[in-house]
Amino acid sequence: MEALLTQVDKKIRTTGADAVLKSLIAEEVALVFGYPGGAIMPIYDALYNYQEEIRHVLTRHEQGAIHAAQGFARATGKVGAVMATSGPGATNLITGIADAMIDSTPLVCITGQVGSHLLGSDAFQETDIISISMPVTKWNDQVTKAEELPEALAKAFYIAQSGRPGPVLIDITKDAQFEEFDYQYKKCEGIRSYNPVPQLDHEQVKKAAELINGAQRPFVVFGQGIILSGAEEEFKTFIEKTGIPTASTLLGLSALPTDHPLNMGMLGMHGNYGPNKLTNECDLLIAIGMRFDDRVTGDLNTYAKQAKVIHFDIDPAEINKNVYAHVPVLGDCKEALTELIRNVRMNSHPVWHQRFKDYEKVENDLVIGEQITPTTLEMTMAEVMDSINRFTNGDALLVTDVGQHQMVACRYTRFNQSKSNITSGGLGTMGFCLPAAIGAKLGAPEREVIAVIGDGGFQMTIQELGTILQTQAQIKIVILNNSFLGMVRQWQQLFFDKRYSSTEMENPDFVTIAKGYGVAGKSINDREDLAHSIQEMLNHKGSYLLEVHVGKEDNVFPMVPSGASVSDIRLS
């Protein structure tokens, strides 16, 4: 790929290792997560001289490093940077890279590699990370000569954050790190044949506006594309002008304030009752910055077949991939919405809105009321989240792991500002939360970061408590402990005759473990201890772990069974 570059620095004689760090500084990277090792040691040695310009966060595992970089990127909108050594160091990044790829998170991953003369010889800690990472990166490159580094890194940062964001990996042989050359850095401003932002088709926008202006029961479904394009205000203006009810995907949460009158809740397998049901009753479905994931659509053969579909997306690969779009609009959401607003009419849909309110009342009466104010002796996950809401007033930054607690936390947390919901969506990576919360806090230190984790996912990256100890990142950790792999157990209960195969967990004393890492905490079992314990956690100066024992068979509803129509959503 031929890059279009602009000069930043004059030529200076330097090593490849120095060049990597100078390039990071040129890209305004001030924070890097990583773990050193033999093949990347020259870069880490050079890092010793750049400690004032670049802060390095030593995680306790490479998977922790990349999830932390994801949390940083999602909280800030900037590129997350990661470094790891060859072999197992590089392969330990793969889960996070795959997670970032499917969730459109911009990352630049730098891995060390054995000397170029050893490539292909099965040398110690040699792994073909280029071939391994190719399916889960937006672009990758192996650098064997120091002089190739500036252009490779410039391309990496440009590709990672342009268009639909994603992860990029640069693999650098050890000899390239030692080699000297005349360094000059030029930021990349374009690459031949790579068009990250399609040119907006104005005729398509007009066609979309015509359908919107003529619809009787329009419905907007939106995703993270709103956040990635910085189109929150334009989106809000659009729905307020047209009066169209709207619902969010899991990753779209917080793009629109939870209490906005046109926000009908969350879509998907554990989304709200009305948005799921009425997807199959609308006459126009307007999808903005979302990819029609199977957890949103359920059975594609029955999904919104009665409706015309408008699909706004920056990625041509998403158009007609799962759902046919009668009017596809390729381009950046912010640009497209800005033009759309000028072409749509003021409107309101009171009868259609009432349909959502009717379903909302059913869900409140049959599900939400019982979950938030339960009659059971055991605490529910929902009442814990509702109690947290009362203290944070929707201003906290929520980071969740994957499982029942994730769905409950995302359903019941209120969001007042964008970039407030960080979770693993498309890949569903257990172990994501704790390191991602560290990265989010370091990226947005002014935010109150609350990490909500299940007892299973917490133990997958529990060692990152050591990163909290070393960085003194102030994170509030809430473990919703049901002594089960809860989501799998729920499926076993509902669809496998309660055959709880390999899902019950015997857990350690989480509070004692946390104290060993310098993190204060407590464990509670009784409802009367909940409110003051949450207040104690939030008032504590420093990180804090609150373990809440919830019902072992506390389920998440509503629920669309896997492969079923969204119309078949269950309330129990």
The residues carrying an active-site annotation are 62, 124-125, 174, 487
Judge contact between 37 and 58, C-beta under 8 A.
Answer: no
Give the up-direction half-sphere exposure of residue 175: CA atoms within 13 A in the CB hemisphere.
8
Burial classification of residue 567, based on how many CB atoms lie within 10 Å of its CB (0-12 exposed, 13-18 middle, 19 or more buried):
middle
Query: What span, in angstroms and rounded, lies between the C-alpha atoms of 207 and 314?
Result: 18
Q: How many CB atoms lie within 10 A of CB 572?
A: 10
Instruction: Tell me the C-alpha to C-alpha distance, in Å, between residue 189 and each of 109, 157, 185, 199, 283.
Output: 20, 10, 13, 17, 42
Strands 3-7 and 186-191: antiparallel
Judge contact between 220 and 200, C-beta under 8 A.
Answer: no
For residue 549 the two structure tokens come to 């024992």
SS3 81: strand
How many helices and strands (H and E) does the chain possess? 24, 22
Give residue 363's Cα distance to chain centre.
27
In which element (H, E) is residue 225 found? Answer: helix 225-228
Judge contact between 94 and 135, C-beta under 8 A.
Answer: no
Judge contact between 68 and 96, C-beta under 8 A.
Answer: no
367 contact partners, CB below 8 Å, separation of at least 6: 273, 557, 558, 571, 572
DSSP string, 7-32: E-S--EEEEHHHHHHHHHHHTT--EE
Judge contact between 382 and 404, C-beta under 8 A.
Answer: no
110 contact partners, CB below 8 Å, separation of at least 6: 20, 40, 43, 81, 82, 83, 84, 169, 170, 172
For 414-448, where are the E strands, in sequence order? 421-422
For residue 17 the two structure tokens come to 């290792």
Listed residue (72, 82, 56) closest to 137, CA to CA: 82
Crossing angle of the two packed helices 381-392 and 530-539, in degrees rounded to 10: 50
The torsion of the CA quartet 415, 418, 422, 428, rounded to 10 degrees, works out to 90
Burial classification of residue 124, based on how many CB atoms lie within 10 Å of its CB (0-12 exposed, 13-18 middle, 19 or more buried):
exposed
Considering just the CA atoms, what is the radius of gyration of the chain in Å?
Answer: 24
For residue 260 the two structure tokens come to 């906005």
Query: What span, in angstroms and rounded, lies between the C-alpha atoms of 356 and 274?
Result: 5
